[in-house]
Amino acid sequence: MLALHALTKRYPTGDLAVHNVSLEVPKGQVMALIGPSGAGKSTLIRCVNRLVEPTSGSVMLDGHEITALGGAALRRARRRMGMIFQEFALVERLTVMENVLSGRLGYVGFWKTFLRRYPQRDIDQAFRFLERVGLTEFVDKRADALSGGQRQRVGIARALMQEPSILLVDEPTAALDPKTSRQIMRLICELCAERELAAIINIHDVGLAQMFAARIVGLCKGEIVFDGSPRNLTPEALTLIYGEEDWHATIKRDEDEPEPADAGAGAGGTGSDDRQLVA
């Protein structure tokens, strides 16, 4: 479904942000993209929906080439790819509802969106998503009145409104506290499972990535240096991605962590020891 082939991005400054990346993300797969700051994670996912123009290579979504599209065709391709942002990127001064409805911009004509006269079908859908992310009573609140976690939920609802076949998620938890981070990640993964959505999630937090993603891709200096299941993410692999450091503490997370945190600290503790032995 999403296939990148030999994707390269060189900025006008000469920096090679993404170098010869080839990648396939099948339907319904949640993939985490990890790597140090400046490894090209953000650039890579922005190349997919061409917020950043790739220098060479190809991006195929459901068998359609995206890199050659222009104008209206590009906008039609973009609405198939929902994007969720690091600092939420909500339109701060608009209401929650307007923000969610803005996910339909690619489908609804200018004057209808200008007058905020969306088709009732979209409005029903927006109410459903707001209920799903738990923000029903915030419909008419302005986006800048919400907390970080609430804002990201609005961002998720907006991305879903696009009826995407893939989610591009850029550091969804970077501005959130640890508990909210888990809730948001869990929500994204649940929604992907419900709707058979593929997702590429850029994430700094290796622990969260292991906890929620089915597949992990490590990026270093614009190139893929690791691609595999979370189980195979050994200290050696992390050293390859991030450089020399004592990684054992980072990996001592367990599979049962995605369950509510009160599953039992003791069990988690022993589990983590097992994990280290496996590693």
Q: Specify the stretch interacting with another protein by CB under 8 A; choose among 20-28, 60-68, 98-106, 222-230.
A: 98-106
In the block, residue with structure tokens 């409805």:
101
In the block, residue with structure tokens 């696009």:
162
Distance CA 67, CA 59 (A): 6
- Closest to 55 in 3D by CA, of 113, 111, 12, 116: 12
Angle subtended by helix axes 178-195 and 148-161, to nearest 10: 20
Site for another protein in 136-195 (CB under 8 A): 139-140, 155, 158, 162, 168
- 9 lies in the site for another protein, by CB under 8 A: no
Distance CA 42, CA 171 (A): 8
- 43 lies in the site for another protein, by CB under 8 A: no
CA dihedral 214, 220, 224, 229 (to 10 degrees): -20
In the block, residue with structure tokens 């600092």:
87
Helix (H) or strand (E) holding 19: strand 16-25
List 6, 68, 91, 145, residue binding another protein (CB under 8 A) = 91
Q: Which is nearer to another protein, 81 or 217 (CB)?
A: 81
- 51 lies in the site for another protein, by CB under 8 A: yes
What is the separation of C-alpha 156 from the centre of its chain, rounded to a whole number of angstroms?
A: 10
What type of residue sits at position 111?
A: W
Phi, psi of 34, rounded to the nearest 5 degrees = -115, 165
- 205 lies in the site for another protein, by CB under 8 A: no
Q: Which is nearer to another protein, 33 or 83 (CB)?
A: 83
List 35, 40, 54, 103, residue binding another protein (CB under 8 A) = 103
Q: Which is nearer to another protein, 19 or 46 (CB)?
A: 46
Q: Specify the stretch interacting with another protein by CB under 8 A; choose among 4-12, 29-37, 108-116, 199-207.
A: 108-116
Phi, psi of 165, rounded to the nearest 5 degrees = -105, -10
- 93 lies in the site for another protein, by CB under 8 A: yes
List 19, 39, 40, 49, residue binding another protein (CB under 8 A) = 49
Q: For binding to another protein (CB under 8 A), which residues are involved?
A: 49, 51, 72, 75-79, 81-83, 85-87, 89-95, 97-98, 102-107, 110, 113-114, 116, 118, 120, 123-124, 126-127, 139-140, 155, 158, 162, 168
